[in-house]
A and B are shown apart, each in its own frame.
Chain A
Amino acid sequence: GAVVSQHPSRVICKSGTSVKIECRSLDFQATTMFWYRQFPKQSLMLMATSNEGSKATYEQGVEKDKFLINHASLTLSTLTVTSAHPEDSSFYICSASQLRDANTEAFFGQGTRLTVV
Chain B
Amino acid sequence: DAKTTQPNSMESNEEEPVHLPCNHSTISGTDYIHWYRQLPSQGPEYVIHGLTSNVNNRMASLAIAEDRKSSTLILHRATLRDAAVYYCILRAISNTGKLIFGQGTTLQVKP
**A residues bordering B, Cβ < 8 Å?**
4, 6, 32, 34, 36, 43-46, 49, 91, 93, 95-97, 100, 102-111, 113
Q: How many A-B residue pairs have CB under 8 A?
A: 68
Residue on A nearest B94 in the bound complex, by CB: A102
Question: Of B12-20, B61-69, B100-108, which binds chain A?
Answer: B100-108
Q: Please state if B45 and A108 are interface contacts (CB–CB under 8 Å).
A: yes
B63-100: CB near A (< 8 Å → 1, else 0) gives 00000000000000000000001010001111111111
How many B residues are at the interface, by size bracket? Answer: 20 to 34
B95 partner, pick from A36, A91, A102, A107, beta carbons under 8 A: A102
Is the pair A105, B42 in contact by a Cβ cutoff of 8 Å? Answer: no
Distance of A22 from chain B, by nearest CB (Å): 14
**Chain A contacts of B42 at CB under 8 A?**
110-111
Q: What chain A residues lie within 8 Å of B101 (beta carbons)? A: 36, 43-46
What is the CA–CA distance of A49 and B93 in the complex, to the nearest angstrom? 17
Q: Identify which of A34, A46, A106 contacts B46 (C-beta below 8 A).
A: A106
